[in-house]
Amino acid sequence: MTKRRAASVALLAGAVVAASVGYWRHRARAAAQHWVAPVLVDPAAGARTPSSEILGVRVGATRLVEVQRLTGAKGLSCADRSVRVLMGELRDKKRAEIAAAEAAGKPDAVSGASILTRKTARDENPQVRFSCDGVRSGALGDRARPEGVGRLLYVFDDANGPVRHASYQRNHDDWTAALADYEDARRALTEKLGPPRESSSMPKSGAAPGGPLPKYGRRVAEWKFSDVVATVSVGNLGGRGFSVSEALEVPLPLRPDAPVR
């Protein structure tokens, strides 16, 4: 082999290697920029939930259109607050900023404008987070509840699938009200699902039973089945009042219709 030929072969081999590296790096980058749906599985063997009904829906079965009809009938103000929608709002805001800057004769004053043309993996995530803000507990209509105002949330893997997650999160300024709300929600779910497993960061000793949670403390009642997990919790928000939440969901990576299969 002549020197020229050897050099050509080496050059060619180098080009192939460089192209391969570039290709794989490009693929890795492309993969990172795209939404990858989780691989869903059937529930493992074990006790199934006796009921997945909560907050007016049947988790694993109720569809988005039914939830929209339900919340509409109750006069609730709800919207999809998915990350995909939020990205759209971000772009709208950026367009408005650019328009304002151009009107002011400063077209280069807006930073981050590339988001207008750049699609991200967030834009490809089909999840729907149907969120109703400022919902009074009395408006829920599924059962009598202590007074409270909070966020009602229904999460769907996509617009066509059944609801995966339903929750109602509300805040109280007063510990007594928060505890009563927590106990009420726990009692309601216990009637449906049986006794929960309960954990708490309540002081172990020296504190009156039912006394306020310590700062950032939490008390959680949990029901775990092979197809759903339900929780009721109360948490001390560290000087910002107390949060009470009740939720029932099909945990990932289970398929969202696991409770009805």
214-246: string of b/e by CB count within 10 Å (b at 16+)?
eeebebbbebbbbbbbbbbbbbbeeeeebbbbb
Determine how β-strand 197-200 pairs with β-strand 218-224: antiparallel
Residue 115: both structure tokens together? 């988001």
Nearest residue (CB) to other proteins, 71 versus 167:
167
The helix/strand/coil state of 216 is coil
CA distances from 91 to 33, 62, 79, 85, 159 (A): 18, 32, 18, 10, 22
Q: Verify binding: residue 145, other proteins, rule CB under 8 A.
A: no
Radius of gyration of the chain (CA): 26
145 or 171: CB nearest other proteins: 171
According to the binding rule CB under 8 A, does residue 71 interact with other proteins? no
Burial degree of 101 (CB within 10 A; 0-12, 13-18, 19+): middle
What character string, x for contact with other proteins (CB under 8 A) and - otherwise, covers 177-206? ------------------------x-----
- Looking at the Cβ atoms of 26 and 144, the one nearer to other proteins is 26
Nearer to other proteins, 179 or 233 (CB): 233
* Cβ closest to other proteins, residue 62 vs residue 171: 171
Q: Which stretch binds other proteins (CB under 8 A): 6-14, 43-51, 64-72, 127-135?
A: 127-135
237 binding other proteins? (CB under 8 A): yes
Our separate counts of H helices and E strands in the chain read 5, 10
Interface stretch with other proteins, choices 50-58, 126-134, 140-148, 181-189 (CB under 8 A):
126-134
Q: Is 172 in the site for other proteins (CB under 8 A)?
A: no
Residue position matching structure tokens 């910002």: 240
Total residues found in the chain within this entry: 261
Smallest distance, Å, CB 1 to other proteins?
Answer: 40
Nearest Cα to Cα of residue 26 among 36, 37, 18, 16: 18
In the DSSP assignment, the letter for residue 36 is: -
Of 10-69, which residues contact other proteins (CB under 8 A)? 32, 35
Least Å distance, CB 209 to other proteins, is 19
Contact set with other proteins (CB under 8 A): 32, 35, 81-83, 86-87, 89-90, 93-94, 120-122, 124-125, 127, 129, 131, 133, 150-151, 153, 155, 164-165, 167, 169, 171, 201, 214-218, 233, 235, 237-238, 240-241, 243, 245, 247, 249, 251-252
